[in-house]
Chain A
Amino acid sequence: DVKVTQSSRYLVKRTGEKVFLECVQDMDHENMFWYRQDPGLGLRLIYFSYDVKMKEKGDIPEGYSVSREKKERFSLILESASTNQTSMYLCASLPNRAGSYGYTFGSGTRLTVV
Chain B
Amino acid sequence: AQSVTQLGSHVSVSEGALVLLRCNYSSSVPPYLFWYVQYPNQGLQLLLKYTTGATLVKGINGFEAEFKKSETSFHLTKPSAHMSDAAEYFCAVSGYNNNDMRFGAGTRLTVKP
Q: Does the CB pair A108–B43 fall under 8 Å?
A: yes
Is B24 in the interface zone, CB < 8 Å from A?
A: no
- Least CB separation from B2: chain A residue: A99
- Interface residues in chain A, defined as those with a beta carbon under 8 Å from any beta carbon in chain B: 4, 6, 9, 31, 33, 35, 40-45, 48, 50, 56, 58, 90, 92, 94, 97-100, 102-108, 110
Chain A binding surface, main DSSP class: strand
Complex CA gap A68/B90 in Å reads: 28
Residues from chain B with a CB closer than 8 A to the CB of A43 are 44, 90, 103
Complex Cα distance, B32 from A107, in Å, reads 24
Minimum CB–CB distance for A52 against chain B, Å: 16
Given A40-B105, A42-B105, A107-B42, verify A102-B34 contact (CB < 8 Å): yes
Judge whether B97 is part of the interface by a CB distance below 8 angstroms.
yes
